[in-house]
């Protein structure tokens, strides 16, 4: 807990990152592969009762800990209380009062890479075709806010069906494939 009473909660799984992104309406969920297979780590700044204020992305290396990004809801500027808590955490880490075992973090990262099937498989996971969960998240984060209020609660699939876009894309894709086959 930071001296100002905020809780600094490490987010250690892809599910926690996606949940944080949904809750605050920003894109931290897309960093899940980087957090799993690279040297990025995420902390959520929350009030004592659990209200999420901001999300901070750190990169940890032999050179120490660096703050990469710190965002509030909908990518807004960080809450001042949360900024003070994150600044305090960085000061404590840099002063050695809060330990960061870089060797243990690296060992855990290498194990995740090994469990994923090695460096090549882990690299492929860094640049995945979006899964249905990620497509839904992108829709809710980037498209739904601009829809009519009555449509904002729809899932991506329901919206595509209601607008006829799903059928239109399938039709266009079919036509393109037919044209490609004729040209070949």
DSSP state of 144: G
Q: What angle do CA 82, 3, 106 make, to 5 degrees?
A: 70
* CATH number of the 7-126 domain: 3.40.630
pLDDT value for 64? 82
pLDDT tens-digit series, residues 87-142: 999 999 999 898 877 778 778 878 877 877 776 666 666 555 445 666 777 777 77
Specify the pTM.
0.64
Any idea where the domains of the chain sit in the sequence? 7-126, 148-184
What contacts 52, CB < 8 A, 6 or more positions away?
20, 23, 24, 44, 45, 46, 73
**Above 80 in pLDDT, residue 9?**
yes
* Mean pLDDT of the region 27-47: 86
Burial class (CB in 10 A: 0-12, 13-18, 19+), 45: buried
């Amino acid at each position: 807990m930071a001296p100002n009473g905020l809780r600094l909660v490490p987010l250690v799984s892809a599910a926690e990152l996606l949940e944080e992104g949904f809750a605050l309406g920003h894109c931290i969920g897309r960093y899940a592969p980087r957090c799993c297979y690279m040297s990025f780590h995420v902390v959520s700044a929350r009030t004592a009762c659990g209200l999420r204020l901001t999300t901070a992305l750190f990169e940890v290396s032999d050179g120490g800990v660096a703050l990469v990004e710190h965002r509030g809801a909908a990518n807004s500027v960080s809450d001042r209380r949360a900024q003070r808590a994150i600044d305090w955490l960085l000061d404590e880490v840099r002063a050695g009062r809060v330990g960061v075992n870089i060797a243990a973090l690296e060992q855990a990262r290498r194990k995740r890479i090994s469990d994923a099937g090695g460096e090549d498989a882990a690299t492929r996971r860094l640049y995945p075709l979006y899964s249905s969960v990620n497509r839904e998240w992108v829709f809710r984060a980037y498209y739904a806010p601009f829809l009519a209020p009555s449509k904002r609660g729809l899932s991506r699939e329901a919206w595509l069906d209601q607008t006829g876009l799903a059928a239109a894309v399938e039709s266009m894709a079919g036509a393109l494939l037919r044209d490609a086959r004729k040209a070949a």
